[in-house]
């Protein structure tokens, strides 16, 4: 008996060691590129440390790993061209582990211990909300690369993804004009879909739409039979889909099985990009719509090189998508701001970033000095048989970011709450 | 009327999926009392096995054969998960019998490792499995009611698994030995049964069935490193409600939860429906702590 106890204990220990070894390896991989000892803000003489903080494990790893890779690629490209201010960028990679308190803790570590000049990271709104107080307290700088629900503008965060008036609001208007008035709102049960749908409901009221139903499912929900029955009973023209993550796979697979295709019912998703299409299956998604600012098929010279380099670096079967591109942009925008400011000091970088323009893969983008969001072009696309999007409509010029929707009369009641 | 029939069918379908994911656990947790938190990851292994078989068929078989990959994937998933279970049992679980809390922590750790392993091998994003074309579409009955072939297929698969398990456990020699060991270990050992081997095989069978569940779930849901976490809570709920140690209980448990979940979800919302189901289960277990069907045993615990 006694022997058994020891055996199992030692076994557990071995298991633990293996797990720990795995973790420490990750850290080594990220910092070993730095050759000299570093000290002071932003690293030593010949280098500048930058933080990368994404979920590399847990549920969100599915999306965030690719963004991390795009950011690493941008850093490598900048280093190959001689770095920033003549110094090399050294990435310090941390794992947020899909756990919001961990994001806050690691953000604190990056700023206070590693003394990074800036941090690129986050995906879910929950992770951003967890990091926000840390960056404001320590006066750090965060570049957040994902479309989100708006109603926020922290002086310490640059938002390189779309806010609502660059994705959801124009998409609703387009659907009302082209696809019908009766909307069914379906989303995951957390802050982004609930806020987005609050905005959509106000907009429907103002622009003559009609609400056929509104449903939320827990994150990770896998059975949509009942929801699909409800959709069938409500007979909407459009399903506006704000489901996030794996639920999309279950929803679209089961929608097709229930005999409903894109021909019978229009759906528009705001969290399904090229990367997700591969996991859901093209046969299931063909003909459905999405709204983003960038597609792999977006036709600009910058995008051609971006896609080529990304595939060369990470494999020919990989695809690029909106948040991947927004993460890539973030690194370049920060580097440009630093060059312009001549320093990595947060206040100087922020000042220099105002009105900064850059030819991104998605086209010309510009930082809005007031709310630190980005001017972006809105694009609505349809999923094709090859898993890529065909652009059906775009806004022409980049749209000015308006996180509090001040430019929309019907949105008056929304921003007052904040 | 249409809606009632459709919801009734949905209820049966959800129940069958719950039963499929809980069957393996009914053996590893129900019979063997191992709080197996890695059960979800065994489901994941089954799902990835289906993915690998699909890729092998696309690469090495004529495209006319592609539709049959799924038939091959089911036994492959079973075998891969079976071997994984065997490995787990012989290297770890067998040191933890009778220590439920330790086994909970250890298997949870194993689960995390397996998730990360899948992430390393297959990459973090979900992978796609194309369903065979003979499972696309559905039977239309009464105008608007469509019964998808995939859901019908899963119901049939569950019935088949149940039948096979019944035959194995109650009608075969090795099944009889298994029941003997689970009910009264010392007595069985005295009668010359190798309890070690029975333990290992039983755990492996439970794992194998989890593999089949994973394979079937590729038809309905996502295939990614963390899918196990979506199903593990439901699986434990079914086994606990049904009564630990009885297969019949698991069947009733799955139907109770599946039907009430579908109905509550239809009347209220998905989130609230789940809360109501949990409340009902808690209330029920207050009334009957042993679950729907209690296990009677003469062995001394």
pLDDT over threshold 80, residue A331: yes
Residues 13-42 of B with CB under 8 A from A: 13-14, 17
Dihedral angle sign, alpha carbons of residues B66, B71, B74, B80: negative
Closest CA to B28 of B227, B159, B170, B199: B199
For residue A22, the model assigns a pLDDT of 45
pLDDT over threshold 50, residue A38: no
Could B126 and A221 be called an inter-chain contact, meaning their C-beta atoms sit closer than 8 Å? Answer: no
pLDDT over threshold 90, residue B211: yes
Could A280 and B149 be called an inter-chain contact, meaning their C-beta atoms sit closer than 8 Å? Answer: no
Residues 161-180 of A with CB under 8 A from B: none
Could B106 and A15 be called an inter-chain contact, meaning their C-beta atoms sit closer than 8 Å? Answer: yes
pLDDT in tens, B161-176: 999 999 999 899 999 9
Across residues B220-226, what is the average pLDDT? 88
* Residues in B touching A315 (Cβ below 8 Å): none
Helix ranges (DSSP H) in B61-131: 69-91, 100-122
Closest CA to A151 of A377, A365, A416: A416
For residue A36, the model assigns a pLDDT of 36
* Residues in A touching B269 (Cβ below 8 Å): 215-216
Q: Which residue has the tokens 């009677």?
A: B296
Instruction: Tell me whether A233 touches chain B (CB under 8 Å).
Output: yes
- Contact between A223 and B17 under an 8 Å Cβ cutoff? The reply is yes
Residue A275 pLDDT grade (very low, low, confident, very high; cuts 50, 70, 90): confident
Burial (CB < 10 A; 0-12, 13-18, 19+), residue B105, is middle
For residue B73, the model assigns a pLDDT of 95
For residue B65, the model assigns a pLDDT of 85
pLDDT over threshold 50, residue A29: no
For residue B81, the model assigns a pLDDT of 97
Instruction: Tell me whether A297 touches chain B (CB under 8 Å).
Output: no
For residue A418, the model assigns a pLDDT of 41
pLDDT in tens, B83-142: 999 999 999 999 998 888 899 999 999 999 999 899 889 987 788 888 888 988 888 887
Could B130 and A216 be called an inter-chain contact, meaning their C-beta atoms sit closer than 8 Å? Answer: no
Instruction: Tell me whether B166 touches chain A (CB under 8 Å).
Output: no
Residues 215-234 of B with CB under 8 A from A: 217, 219-227, 229-231
- Decide: helix, strand or coil at residue B140: strand
For residue A26, the model assigns a pLDDT of 41
User: What CA–CA distance (Å, rounded) separates A220 from A248?
Assistant: 9
Could B126 and A63 be called an inter-chain contact, meaning their C-beta atoms sit closer than 8 Å? Answer: no
Could B136 and A256 be called an inter-chain contact, meaning their C-beta atoms sit closer than 8 Å? Answer: yes
Instruction: Tell me whether A283 touches chain B (CB under 8 Å).
Output: yes
Residue B96: closest C-alpha in chain A? A8
Enumerate the β-bridge partners of residue A49.
A90
Could B102 and A250 be called an inter-chain contact, meaning their C-beta atoms sit closer than 8 Å? Answer: no
* Residues in A touching B140 (Cβ below 8 Å): 259
For residue B136, the model assigns a pLDDT of 86
Nearest to A215 among B13, B91, B269 (CB): B269
User: What CA–CA distance (Å, rounded) separates A281 from B50?
Assistant: 15
Could B220 and A12 be called an inter-chain contact, meaning their C-beta atoms sit closer than 8 Å? Answer: no
Tokens of B27: 């053996």
Which of A27-41, A264-278, B173-187 shows the lowest per-residue confidence on average (mean pLDDT)? A27-41
* Residues in A touching B137 (Cβ below 8 Å): 257, 259
Nearest to B13 among A65, A225, A283 (CB): A225
Enumerate the β-bridge partners of residue A50.
A91
Left if phi > 0, otherwise alpha if psi is -120 to 50, otherwise beta: which for A201?
A: alpha
pLDDT in tens, B13-72: 999 999 999 999 999 998 888 899 999 999 999 999 999 999 999 999 888 888 889 999
pLDDT in tens, B280-300: 999 999 998 888 887 665 554
Residues 6 or more apart whose CB falls under 8 angstroms from that of B252 comprise B242, B292, B293
pLDDT in tens, A193-247: 999 999 999 999 999 999 999 999 988 888 999 999 999 889 999 999 999 878 8
A-to-B residue pairs, Cβ atoms closer than 8 angstroms: 149
pLDDT in tens, B77-100: 999 999 999 999 999 999 998 888
Write the CA distances from B167 to A13, B74, B160, B172, integer angstroms.
Answer: 41, 19, 11, 7
Nearest to B262 among A12, A226, A253 (CB): A226
Residue A23 pLDDT grade (very low, low, confident, very high; cuts 50, 70, 90): very low
Taking residue B222's Cβ as centre, other Cβ atoms within 10 Å add up to 27
pLDDT in tens, A361-399: 999 999 998 899 999 999 999 999 999 999 999 998 999
Residue A13 pLDDT grade (very low, low, confident, very high; cuts 50, 70, 90): low
* Residues in A touching B270 (Cβ below 8 Å): 189, 215-218, 221, 226-227
Q: How far is CA B110 from the centre of its chain?
A: 18
User: What CA–CA distance (Å, rounded) separates A333 from A331?
Assistant: 6
Nearest to A61 among B92, B119, B140 (CB): B119
| Angle between helix B195-217 and B69-91 (nearest 10) | 140
């Amino acid at each position: 008996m006694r022997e058994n106890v020891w055996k199992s204990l030692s076994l557990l220990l071995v298991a633990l060691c293996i797990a720990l070894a795995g973790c420490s390896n990750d850290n080594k991989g990220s910092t070993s590129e730095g050759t000299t000892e570093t000290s002071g803000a932003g690293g030593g003489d010949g280098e500048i440390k930058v933080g990368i903080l994404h979920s590399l494990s847990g549920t969100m790893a599915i999306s965030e790993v690719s963004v991390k890779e795009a950011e690493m690629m941008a850093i490598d490209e900048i280093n190959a061209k001689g770095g920033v201010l003549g110094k090399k960028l050294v990435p310090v990679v941390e794992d947020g582990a899909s756990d919001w308190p961990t994001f806050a803790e690691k953000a604190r570590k990056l700023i206070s211990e590693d003394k990074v000049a800036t941090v690129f990271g986050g995906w879910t709104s929950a992770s951003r909300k967890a990091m926000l107080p840390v960056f404001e307290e320590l006066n750090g700088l965060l570049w957040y690369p994902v479309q989100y629900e708006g109603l926020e503008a922290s002086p310490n965060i640059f938002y390189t993804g779309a806010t609502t008036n660059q994705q959801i609001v124009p998409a609703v208007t387009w659907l009302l004009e082209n696809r019908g008035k009766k909307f069914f709102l379906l989303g995951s049960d957390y802050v982004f879909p609930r806020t987005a749908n609050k905005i959509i409901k106000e907009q429907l009221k103002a622009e003559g739409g009609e609400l056929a139903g509104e449903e939320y499912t827990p994150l990770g929900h896998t059975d949509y039979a009942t929801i699909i029955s409800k959709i069938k009973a409500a007979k909407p023209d459009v399903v506006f889909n704000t489901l996030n993550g794996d639920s999309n796979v279950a929803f679209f697979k089961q929608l097709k099985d229930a005999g409903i295709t894109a021909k019978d019912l229009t759906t528009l998703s705001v969290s399904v990009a090229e990367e997700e299409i591969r996991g859901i299956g093209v046969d299931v998604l063909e003909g459905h719509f999405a709204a983003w600012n960038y597609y792999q098929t977006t036709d600009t010279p910058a995008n051609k090189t971006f896609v080529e380099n990304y595939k060369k670096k990470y494999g020919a079967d990989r695809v690029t998508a909106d948040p991947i591109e927004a993460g890539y942009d973030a690194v370049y925008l920060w580097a440009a701001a630093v060059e312009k400011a001549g320093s990595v000091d947060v206040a100087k970088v922020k000042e220099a970033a105002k009105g900064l323009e850059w030819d991104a893969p998605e086209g010309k983008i510009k930082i809005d000095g007031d709310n630190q969001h980005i001017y972006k072009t809105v694009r609505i696309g349809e999923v094709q048989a090859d898993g890529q999007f065909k652009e059906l409509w775009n806004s022409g010029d980049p749209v000015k970011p308006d996180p509090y929707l001040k430019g929309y009369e019907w949105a008056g009641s929304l921003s007052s709450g904040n | 009327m249409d809606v009632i029939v459709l919801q009734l069918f949905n209820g049966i379908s959800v129940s069958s999926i719950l039963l499929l994911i809980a069957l393996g656990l009914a053996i590893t947790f129900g019979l063997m009392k191992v709080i197996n938190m890695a059960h979800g990851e065994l489901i994941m292994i089954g799902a990835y096995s289906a993915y690998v078989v699909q890729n092998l068929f696309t690469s090495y078989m004529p495209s006319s054969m592609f539709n049959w990959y799924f038939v091959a994937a089911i036994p492959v998933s079973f075998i891969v998960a079976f071997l994984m279970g065997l490995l787990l049992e012989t290297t770890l679980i067998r040191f933890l019998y009778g220590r439920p809390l330790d086994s909970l922590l250890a298997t949870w750790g194993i689960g995390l490792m397996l998730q990360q392993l899948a992430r390393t091998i297959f990459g973090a994003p979900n992978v796609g499995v194309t369903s065979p074309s003979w499972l696309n579409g559905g039977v239309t009955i009464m105008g608007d009611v469509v019964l998808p072939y995939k859901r019908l297929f899963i119901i049939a698969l569950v019935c088949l698994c149940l039948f096979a398990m019944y035959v194995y456990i109650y009608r075969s020699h090795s099944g009889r030995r298994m029941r003997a060991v689970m009910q009264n270990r010392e007595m069985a050992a005295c009668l010359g049964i190798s309890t070690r081997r029975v333990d290992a095989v039983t755990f492996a069978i439970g794992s194998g069935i989890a593999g089949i569940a994973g394979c079937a779930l590729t038809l309905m849901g996502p295939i990614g490193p963390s899918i196990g976490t979506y199903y593990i809570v439901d699986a434990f709920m079914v086994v606990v409600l049904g009564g630990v140690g009885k297969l019949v209980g698991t069947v009733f448990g799955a139907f109770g939860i599946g039907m009430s979940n579908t109905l509550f979800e239809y009347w209220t919302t998905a989130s609230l429906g789940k809360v109501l189901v949990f409340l009902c289960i808690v209330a029920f277990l207050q009334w009957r702590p042993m679950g729907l069907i209690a296990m009677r045993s003469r062995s001394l615990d």
